[in-house]
Chains A and B, each alone.
Chain A
């Protein structure tokens, strides 16, 4: 049989043109995020698989760069430029303020009401995800930012029990030095210095002081004797660090604890990934603790935002994504790989590691839910304080009084 080429062409054209009309076309969801390290990529795949299983098609736009500046810059440019991704990662908190106030982001109230987010999530996270009573961000995890990780063998050899307060830790310093170990493995980069300062502020200064320093009316709190005491303890901790500290990456510091070259590190729970890849188990080779009488758990974390879309297909994809991220099984699987704990506090976490269980137990008490600075202050203020804190830690001649004055000035200038 002879078929004319033009007929074949026609048939192809017909087949091609009918493709977009087919109902079975998967809903594409382009997602911008900065989870690119091994454990993180495995974690985000949990979401991707869940979405694909629900009949969608996850299009991954991972943009590397630890703190996520590159990813956020790219995403914000696309949102403002009118070509938004379906979904985009932010850190929980104030980073998305201006996108909300310029109404670039979709309102998530429907999904939030249907999923009872308000009842499932800790209150500080609810507050950080809502603006003027409406939902604009979907929280997916909680990172603990003030963990002490220590090498159990090194501590046992020096006869040190698990520290409970920052004074315990300061007292452990000389004993570790006597054993020829660097007491404190610290990564001397400004954001890490700030992370450590906040951990001391929450533990030694207490939850109330922490919340007022980063609250609406900080002047009095910064001028208080409690804050100066925090500054003194922070400086004393600097004395336990090694000379190679400036500029060090956090994971290099973690490696020093893993190998027993150093005794301890203060870092967020993402450091667990490093211990895990060295096949160390929490509670065995390394221990974890939150220091201070209040036991405040400084919560960082990630949210997804959903830019306003023009096409119905994109909006449908967003609705589908919104409904599945907080699903119990997805939450456990994602957070186990990410090193964080589930954003909702009602889940059975017995399958997760000892540190995660400790964290979830703390989070059940609303008094111990301390928002991290990303919830409380602007990136501008965070940066200005980074400069002040890192300079204080690295300048031996700077006194706590100088520091308090500079801290107050930086807070004032950036408000």
Chain B
């Protein structure tokens, strides 16, 4: 009895293999690249973080020396705080604004297509362009402040971009301006998927629309919100070009971020060891944040056996 079953299972397996072989073959180069380049480069970087490398990589071992210097470096520690403030405000701000924009468009406003394009447009621009535009706009002697003063309001002051303790918020503003359109697009797709019957039922029960959005629609949009939040979080971790274009890390070191610290040390400063140590710290931080989420999403045993 068992033999035919085994044989048929084997033939099924071989049939499946024949079907999947081309696909597996096609994916092989990508897999090799991911493993060799990404993982390999990661291991290489972590290894260099424990070396005394300056301009060229050397493979000696100096223990935690680079990390000790790293955490004694005021600029790196400040960069960590900046990215934290930026990350929290940016993700929260972009989600809230993106949701409001999506709700606004979901009211079936006139010229919906035009609004959608306008809101999504900033996302089509690179961070470099965004940064340059906002730098001009916020510059006290070129942009908004000068314009308003020229109109006669001579005491008007809006010079956050040159104020060491406020400059980080200008980065947040520019980044929210750029990214909230993307959040809107994602959430709008979710809103459009909401069953019209739901709205009818809510109207019959005389529930105010804001209450429907907060208590019924928003929970339904959770997967979209998570997607948007992950995309935004990635943008936070690699924040570099916006800073370069807008503030170059200044005034002083008050808008420095970790990615810029790493790049500066790798190239301009010929300090591969310290740069690698900073990259390793950044990697550990990202993994520490992402790992619980990956576990929850993919690895946790599913409760309902599918």
Q: Which chain A residues have a beta carbon within 8 Å of chain B's beta carbons?
A: 67, 69, 73, 76, 80, 95, 97-99, 102, 188-190, 242-247, 378-380, 382-384, 387, 390-395, 406, 409, 413
Tell me, rounded to whole Å, the shortest Cβ–Cβ distance linking A75 to chain B: 12
* Interchain residue pairs A-B with the least CB separation, the first 10: A394-B252, A383-B269, A246-B251, A244-B141, A394-B251, A391-B252, A98-B55, A379-B270, A380-B271, A246-B250
Residues of A within 8 A of B247 (CB): 246-247
- Interface residue? B56 (CB, 8 A): yes
Q: Is B74 in contact with A406, judged by CB distance below 8 angstroms? A: yes
Residues of A within 8 A of B205 (CB): none
Residues of A within 8 A of B253 (CB): 387, 390-391
List which B228-276 residues lie within 8 A (CB) of chain A: 246-254, 264-265, 267-271, 274
Q: A80-B56, A380-B270, A387-B253 are in contact. Are A247 and B142 (CB under 8 A)?
A: no
Whole-angstrom distance between the alpha carbons of A67 and B274 in the complex?
21
Q: A189-B250, A413-B72 are in contact. Are A244 and B267 (CB under 8 A)?
A: no
Residues of A within 8 A of B74 (CB): 387, 391, 406
Residues of B within 8 A of A391 (CB): 74-75, 252-253
Whole-angstrom distance between the alpha carbons of A390 and B264 in the complex?
15
Q: Is A190 in contact with B250, judged by CB distance below 8 angstroms? A: yes
- Interface residue? B139 (CB, 8 A): yes
Q: Is A393 in contact with B252, judged by CB distance below 8 angstroms? A: yes
Residues of B within 8 A of A189 (CB): 248, 250
26 A-B residue pairings within 8 Å (CB atoms)? A69-B268, A76-B55, A98-B55, A98-B56, A99-B55, A188-B250, A243-B141, A244-B139, A244-B140, A244-B141, A244-B162, A245-B162, A246-B252, A247-B250, A378-B54, A380-B271, A383-B269, A383-B271, A384-B73, A390-B250, A391-B252, A391-B253, A394-B250, A394-B252, A406-B74, A413-B72
Residues of B within 8 A of A378 (CB): 54, 270
Residues of A within 8 A of B56 (CB): 76, 80, 98, 102
Tell me, rounded to whole Å, the shortest Cβ–Cβ distance linking B41 to chain A: 15
10 new A-B contacts at CB < 8 Å, known A190-B250, A379-B55? A98-B55, A98-B56, A102-B56, A244-B141, A379-B268, A379-B270, A383-B264, A383-B265, A384-B269, A394-B251
Q: Is A379 in contact with B269, judged by CB distance below 8 angstroms? A: yes
Nearest residue (CB) in B for A383 is B269
Residues of B within 8 A of A242 (CB): 141
- Interface residue? B69 (CB, 8 A): yes
Residues of A within 8 A of B63 (CB): none
Tell me, rounded to whole Å, the shortest Cβ–Cβ distance linking A102 to chain B: 6
Q: Is B269 in contact with A380, judged by CB distance below 8 angstroms? A: yes
Tell me, rounded to whole Å, the shortest Cβ–Cβ distance linking B199 to chain A: 50
Nearest residue (CB) in A for B267 is A69
Pick from A99, A247, A395, A413: contact of B164, CB below 8 A.
A395
- Interface residue? B280 (CB, 8 A): no
Whole-angstrom distance between the alpha carbons of A378 and B270 in the complex?
8
Interface-central residue, B251, B252, B253, B265, by most chain A CB under 10 Å: B252
Interface size on B, residues (CB 8 A): 34
Whole-angstrom distance between the alpha carbons of A67 and B268 in the complex?
8
Q: Is A73 in contact with B267, judged by CB distance below 8 angstroms? A: yes
Q: Is B140 in contact with A413, judged by CB distance below 8 angstroms? A: no
Whole-angstrom distance between the alpha carbons of A269 and B142 in the complex?
27
- Interface residue? B180 (CB, 8 A): no
Nearest residue (CB) in B for A98 is B55
- Interface residue? B135 (CB, 8 A): yes
Q: Is A380 in contact with B69, judged by CB distance below 8 angstroms? A: no
Whole-angstrom distance between the alpha carbons of A76 and B249 in the complex?
27
Q: Is A413 in contact with B69, judged by CB distance below 8 angstroms? A: yes
Interface-central residue, A76, A99, A246, A394, by most chain B CB under 10 Å: A246
Whole-angstrom distance between the alpha carbons of A413 and B69 in the complex?
7
Tell me, rounded to whole Å, the shortest Cβ–Cβ distance linking A94 to chain B: 9
Q: Is B249 in contact with A190, judged by CB distance below 8 angstroms? A: yes
Nearest residue (CB) in A for B274 is A380
Whole-angstrom distance between the alpha carbons of A382 and B268 in the complex?
10
Q: Is A395 in contact with B252, judged by CB distance below 8 angstroms? A: yes
List which B115-157 residues lie within 8 A (CB) of chain A: 135, 139-142
Residues of B within 8 A of A380 (CB): 54, 265, 269-271, 274
Residues of A within 8 A of B248 (CB): 189-190, 247
List which B52-95 residues lie within 8 A (CB) of chain A: 54-56, 69, 72-75
Whole-angstrom distance between the alpha carbons of A393 and B252 in the complex?
7
Whole-angstrom distance between the alpha carbons of A102 and B75 in the complex?
31
Q: A247-B247, A394-B250 are in contact. Are A413 and B73 (CB under 8 A)?
A: yes
Nearest residue (CB) in A for B76 is A387
Whole-angstrom distance between the alpha carbons of A246 and B249 in the complex?
10
Whole-angstrom distance between the alpha carbons of A395 and B271 in the complex?
26
Whole-angstrom distance between the alpha carbons of A102 and B54 in the complex?
12
Tell me, rounded to whole Å, the shortest Cβ–Cβ distance linking A252 to chain B: 10
